[in-house]
Structure 1
Amino acid sequence: MNPPTELRSLELISRLKRAPSEHKGNAGKVLLVGGAPGMAGALLLAGSAALHLGAGWTMLEMLDPTAAHAIPEQAELMIRLASFNAQEQLETTAPDVIAIGPGLGFSVLAKDWLIASLRYPKVPLVIDADALNLIADNPELLDLLKQRNQAFPGMTVLTPHPGEAAHLLNTSAAAIQANRTEALADLKKLTNSIVVLKGQHTLIASPLHPAEQCAQGNPGMAVGGMGDVLTGTIAAIAAQGLHHNLNLWESTCIGVQLHASAADSLVAKQIGPIGLTPTEVILEMRSLLNKLL
């Protein structure tokens, strides 16, 4: 097995530069699904990342009824209570990108939304967190994922951390970490998806692309919510990429490297590594992205 090459994707950011006449439709409609009771923060972080990284609309399908209301300090987020008819809601909303998993939980409603998302055609789909665990626990969901990738190749990305990767591969996180490159290849073979294996020197590969490794990142990123931010980032870049000549693979590569580079930039400014927050990384990503346009 060839060793991964170094991820070099930030030069692609220049494609996101906007013409003077562009409107929010050119930046895409991102729909994020999750936020079960007690886990609303995960979806809010993903939504904040999507908003600050340039999505034209950021819509949150919140599974927690107590959290499904407007947030005054982030009024731009369009938050609503997740419908019990997920397929109908998706068809009505007509998103350009779907991201599902942050704080999703394992309820019947969570599973229904995952099924509807896997069945929703053509648009880029980002799958993270509890959505990955649901796929690991339900062979019929894995089958739906494979069917989606057969019908729409290159349109689905999975972003597991080592624990979620271990669940998908029926092994241990220690085994994943012992041979991350092999685990990445196994995940790609199992799911036929673009796969981002998070962790130190995050790895990314797809059925059409050999493994690449992100050289950036630091231990300050080891905090809850950092993966949710990556999910929202990839979704926002993918949504803009639809009108700016970036496919989901390229958008994912940008998201991974920008996320890690922003964390390194903050540490270089003596913000962290200990106590580095996902919200700080969101704002630093926005700054770096705009400098690179």
Structure 2
Amino acid sequence: MSSQLATLAALKLVKFLKRGTAEHKGSAGKALLIGGAPGMAGALLLAGNACLHLGAGWTMLEMFDPASAHAYQDSPELMIHLASSEIDSVLLNTQPDVIAIGPGLGKSDLASAWLMGVLHYPNIPLIIDADALNLIAASRDLLEALQKRNQQFPGQSVITPHPGEAAKLLGISSEDVQANRLSALEKLIALTQSIAVLKGQHTLIASPKNAALQCQEGNPGMGTGGMGDILTGSIAAITAQGVRHQLDLWESTSIAVQLHAAAADSLVSKGIGPIGLTPSETILEMRSLLNKLL
């Protein structure tokens, strides 16, 4: 596949994130991340920490787990709120610049209601990952809501499935996805009309308006729980900043995908991994690389 596809080369766009001397947190955007059901709060906290360390002005978490919906000692900067059924009110009061939904979301009725609520929230970038994708795969109503949103606001949603989630969306097996990843990517775009990131070895990214690109960076150490969550948080952070720094969702997603993989490679080059490489270490290396590229 490498010879058939152009290589993702998005890090040159990082220069647009450079901040002027008079900028403030409003210039860096407001990101709202939704998920963290009981037993899976760590997924949302990882996504939130990635969003925080990659530079979002505000990182707000709608946490489904009551036991975790409080100030987080390791990252008190995260604004954590217990998710309720008052979805429209929360969105109206929060006024986010970007929404990410899925890390640790679960498949409850409340999770479905939140997903439907954000699919109806207009004209801001939306990142859909993990259980949010599984919910869409299981619900014609949610899929149609996503399709309708993309008809109204093209280029304003991205899906980030791993092969298993892609298989559920397409109604095929994971083996079929992996046997022809480019074909699976094209089918995901046709189905959802979203920007699509098909994770895995040599992650692929394409959209209805952008041809497929292949990320050459990355290594097997990234095959651990939480790596996808930090990618979601990273896309949210860069997108939030991009709102006021001339970067759209396609460009922001492309930067995050390549930065994520490059950071993992950088750590391995320093003898940190691949075995035992953690998402938390990768977040900090992403921050370091991002600042070096400015």
Smaller-chain TM-score range?
Answer: over 0.9
Q: CA deviation at 1:99?
A: 0.1
2:106 match: secondary structure: coil
Residue 113 of structure 2 aligns with which residue? 112
User: How many percent identity over aligned positions?
Assistant: 67
Residue 253 of structure 1 aligns with which residue? 254
Separation in 2, partners of 1:124, 1:165? 21
Residue 182 of structure 2 aligns with which residue? 181
RMSD: 1.0
Instruction: Give the conservation status (yes or no) of the 8 Å contact 1:161–1:199.
Output: yes
Separation in 2, partners of 1:131, 1:47? 17
Structure 2 residue 129 is matched with structure 1 residue 128: yes
Residue 265 of structure 2 aligns with which residue? 264
Q: CA deviation at 1:4?
A: 2.1
Separation in 2, partners of 1:241, 1:281? 22
Separation in 1, partners of 2:106, 2:237? 23
Give the partner amino acid of 2:153: F
Residue 54 of structure 1 aligns with which residue? 55
Instruction: Give the conservation status (yes or no) of the 8 Å contact 1:87–1:113.
Output: no
Structure 2 residue 204 is matched with structure 1 residue 206: no
Structure 2 residue 227 is matched with structure 1 residue 226: yes
Residue 35 of structure 1 aligns with which residue? 36
Separation in 1, partners of 2:121, 2:151? 13
1:80 match: secondary structure: strand
Separation in 1, partners of 2:86, 2:150? 24
Instruction: Give the conservation status (yes or no) of the 8 Å contact 1:59–1:77.
Output: yes
Separation in 2, partners of 1:257, 1:146? 27
TM-score normalised according to structure 1 size: 0.99
| Range moving further from structure 2, 226-235 or 1-10 | 1-10
Q: CA deviation at 1:3?
A: 2.8
Instruction: Give the conservation status (yes or no) of the 8 Å contact 1:3–1:211.
Output: no
Structure 2 residue 241 is matched with structure 1 residue 240: yes
Q: CA deviation at 1:86?
A: 1.0
Structure 2 residue 12 is matched with structure 1 residue 11: yes
2:212 match: secondary structure: strand
Give the partner amino acid of 2:204: L
Instruction: Give the conservation status (yes or no) of the 8 Å contact 1:43–1:103.
Output: yes
- 1:239-269 deviations in Å (ceiling 9; x for gaps): 0001000000000000000000000000000
Separation in 1, partners of 2:155, 2:89? 25
Structure 2 residue 98 is matched with structure 1 residue 90: no
Residue 144 of structure 2 aligns with which residue? 143
Residue 195 of structure 2 aligns with which residue? 194
Give the partner amino acid of 1:24: K
Give the partner amino acid of 2:30: K
2:158 match: secondary structure: strand
Separation in 2, partners of 1:4, 1:120? 34
TM-score normalised according to structure 2 size: 0.99
